[in-house]
Amino acid sequence: MRCVSTRGGTPVTLCEAIAKGLAPDGGLYVPELLPRVSITVGALELSGVAQQLLAPYFVGEPLPLEDICRSAFTFDAPMTALGDDFLLELFHGPTAAFKDFGARFLAESLSRLGVTQTILVATSGDTGAAVAAAFHQRPNLRVVILYPKGRVSARQAHQLGAFGGNVHAFRVNGTFDDCQRMVKAALADEGLKSSLGSANSISLGRLLPQMAYFAAAASRSGGELNVVIPTGNLGNALACLMAKQMGLPIGRVVLATNANRVLPDFLHTGKYEARPSIATLANAMDVGAPSNVERLQSWKLSPEADWVDDAAIRQTIVRTWKDHRVAICPHTACGVEVLRRLKEQGATGRWAVAATAHPAKFETIVEPLIGQRVPVPAALQELLDRDSNAEPLPPTEAALIARLGSAV
């Protein structure tokens, strides 16, 4: 399918858009249209749902969609009960956060396209690990990760530095927004840009596959499913809105941010105002300048939104444990709290909250609150048992460009 930049210009093929990441004019690629599909889910596994859903986008593209889906979707996204509502558990992949789905699909696609690239990733926590795991040991592909020092959990930091080989981690003395700005500058650098690629949530190769679990959840639930999505840069939320636009039985889509309330404010006032990011307990959502807003605007999609401060995140983790004996991560807690408010205001119907990460990734926050150890998933434990190395880097574009120039 042809894709265009949110800022206009000449269309490219989907494969070109996936290989490029960011459009040359600085805009974000979007498919020219969101085709309506009707999916027969039945007993299909997630990889089968993904195939049906994504097929219209891959018509005429030189990529074997079926193989890619089978290799990328090797774990499920189950719905589990939370009282009368549901958690859509998106954390059963190798790095225990939803980003494994998109990162694995992108890595499979770039490998099969024969791309030789250094993938540059700014991460506020989970992206870097998911991308590192997905690209680790792939020939012709390297990963360079930038993360804000002290703003990711100890386990997240350990994960980022635990891969080695073709994965290099930089610990930046700054914020996530600094990391993102540095990555953008390097991707635009004349001397470097031909050898660099991106894998942030702006990449269509990550965005498209994320539709699959919302489509599967909605289709399997036998009625319209309303969804609350913890969000920072709208990756997951856009995927859900796109699946809805494609005709899947999805009702209300409600964004839940942390105290970085740019999105709720934008949706309430109609005015987009980026701000410096604030450090919160839900650190993977500490985004002050959510670039994906450009896609929201280009499709004229309209979610609802609310925001949750750190005190409410703590209370929600405690309450969810007390009421349901379910441990949730701080990001998921934002969603659970927003759903509680919605129901207090009379919301009805079937509701699911996207559970974006496993609580064991944020054990220093979750365990003291619930007074329990959170068992660590096996894949995560395996990474934590390895040595971990990251190189310090000042928060400037020049520092990154110089370092990349001298071969990492």
Ligand X SMILES: *Cc1c(COP(=O)(O)O)cnc(C)c1O
Q: Which residues bind ligand X (CB under 6 A)?
A: 97, 99, 125-126, 201, 230-237, 284-285, 331, 356-357
Q: Choose between 48 and 205: whose C-beta lies nearer to ligand X.
A: 205
DSSP state, 376? Answer: P
Nearest one of 280, 193, 198 to 235, comparing CA atoms: 198
Query: Taking the complex as a whole, how short is the minimal distance between the CB of residue 140 and ligand X, in angstroms?
Result: 27
Q: With contact defined as beta carbons under 8 Å apart, do 383 and 95 qualify?
A: yes
Query: Taking the complex as a whole, how short is the minimal distance between the CB of residue 356 and ligand X, in angstroms?
Result: 3
Specify the DSSP element, H or E, that contains 87: strand 85-89
Q: Choose between 125 and 174: whose C-beta lies nearer to ligand X.
A: 125
Side-chain-side CA neighbours of 15 within 13 Å: the count stands at 16
Contacts of 358 (CB under 8 A, 6+ apart): 91, 96, 97, 329, 377, 380
Q: Choose between 218 and 333: whose C-beta lies nearer to ligand X.
A: 333
Q: Choose between 286 and 404: whose C-beta lies nearer to ligand X.
A: 286
Q: Choose between 118 and 260: whose C-beta lies nearer to ligand X.
A: 260
Q: Choose between 47 and 291: whose C-beta lies nearer to ligand X.
A: 291
Query: Taking the complex as a whole, how short is the minimal distance between the CB of residue 116 and ligand X, in angstroms?
Result: 27
Query: Taking the complex as a whole, how short is the minimal distance between the CB of residue 231 and ligand X, in angstroms?
Result: 4
Q: With contact defined as beta carbons under 8 Å apart, do 183 and 120 qualify?
A: yes
Q: Choose between 125 and 197: whose C-beta lies nearer to ligand X.
A: 125
Q: Phi and psi (nearest 5°) for 173?
A: -80, 70
Q: With contact defined as beta carbons under 8 Å apart, do 306 and 259 qualify?
A: no
C-alpha–C-alpha distance, residues 405 and 87, integer Å: 45
**Cα 257 to Cα 235, 306, 317, 396, distances in angstroms:** 13, 6, 16, 27
C-alpha–C-alpha distance, residues 271 and 277, integer Å: 18
C-alpha–C-alpha distance, residues 184 and 27, integer Å: 12
Query: Taking the complex as a whole, how short is the minimal distance between the CB of residue 190 and ligand X, in angstroms?
Result: 29
Q: Choose between 196 and 202: whose C-beta lies nearer to ligand X.
A: 202
Structure tokens at 44: 């299909």
Q: Which residue is associated with the tokens 């049906």?
A: 52
Q: Choose between 48 and 73: whose C-beta lies nearer to ligand X.
A: 73
Query: Taking the complex as a whole, how short is the minimal distance between the CB of residue 162 and ligand X, in angstroms?
Result: 17
Q: How far is CA 338 from the centre of its chain?
A: 19
Query: Taking the complex as a whole, how short is the minimal distance between the CB of residue 209 and ligand X, in angstroms?
Result: 13
Q: With contact defined as beta carbons under 8 Å apart, do 103 and 75 qualify?
A: no
Query: Taking the complex as a whole, how short is the minimal distance between the CB of residue 292 and ligand X, in angstroms?
Result: 7
Q: Phi and psi (nearest 5°) for 282?
A: -95, 70
Contacts of 184 (CB under 8 A, 6+ apart): 22
Q: Which residue is associated with the tokens 């129901």?
A: 343
Query: Taking the complex as a whole, how short is the minimal distance between the CB of residue 240 and ligand X, in angstroms?
Result: 9
